[in-house]
Amino acid sequence: METNNFPLELLGNDNYANWSVKMKNYLLGQGLWDIVETSSSKPPKPDDDVVEFEAWRKRNDTTLQAIQSSCGMDILSRINNNCSAKIVWKMLAKMFMESNGHDKLIQTEDDDSRIDEENSSSSDNTGQEREDDYPDLVKAVQSRDWITARDFLKLHPTASTAVITLMGGTVLHAAVEAEQELIVEELVNMISEHDLEMLDNAGDTALHLAIASGNHRMAECLITKNRRLVSLRNANGELPVAQAMGYGHKELARYLYSHTPLRFLVEGYDGASLLNRSIYSRDLGNKYYCMFFSSSNHSFR
């Protein structure tokens, strides 16, 4: 049974007209309608004004979440690979038509919901490409074909941060999962620090996936580009260092420990969690942990 945690009725196959009016009014009330309004100006580019772009990104994410939260699962499955609220709004409009006063969900060639003119325009900077293209990119990454992947990303720059995997991950997630170390390094050089923090549907960054496989080289590559990654928790609420120790990747855990700010380990439960995992892994003799546990006056809770 579907549950709706959003104040509006779920969008189904026969209520688009009413739903769209209510959603528009909701977005107007939240000051978010300009994000999806077709006549609104194009979103800012990160290269022009980082602060303005980040503000737009947050408002876009809030708008997108509102739309997705009010869609039934059958509708959601057709739009959940898009990260632009404006494109999703236009996709939904083209997916439905009015017939004799009633809404009717229509299927057009290639879903026609891709909105080719939006997706093919690099100037719109919405981060969308044709979904049908992504399997080729994933295949190239998994087969260690960096030349094909590189050429694809050159033609479609926004694909580097688009959702392309079944688990809601980016091309970087795909490369890490396939343990393609050289491709991971190339991708890290291409994308921004902020984009290294992107989460998949499970709530994992690329670093969390690298830790799960115990790949020290990929983890070091990611952290060198963005040191904040060591303080981002996984879906289970664990810091990377505790996650690595939990998997029994001792050397990787020691590396992560050396890059984790001490304040994250002496406040709350993280220090106790690391201690507990170290006990189970029989790694208390490591000099880093000994220094921490002996010097800290923190009382573990």
- Domains parsed from the chain with CATH numbers: 16-124 (no CATH), 129-229 (1.25.40.20), 238-301 (no CATH)
Question: Is 174 within 8 Å of 153 (Cβ atoms)?
Answer: no
- When mean pLDDT is compared across 10-19, 29-38, 93-102, 235-244, the lowest value belongs to 93-102
Please give the average per-residue pLDDT across 178-200, as a whole number: 93
Helix (H) or strand (E) holding 13: none
Predicted confidence at residue 200, as pLDDT, reads 87
Q: Is the pLDDT at 243 greater than 50, yes or no? A: yes
Predicted confidence at residue 218, as pLDDT, reads 97
Q: What is the pTM of this model?
A: 0.53
Please give the average per-residue pLDDT across 76-90, as a whole number: 80
Task: Kindly report the average pLDDT of the chain as a whole number.
Answer: 76
pLDDT in tens, 124-150: 443 444 444 588 899 999 999 999 999
- When mean pLDDT is compared across 4-13, 31-40, 153-162, the lowest value belongs to 4-13
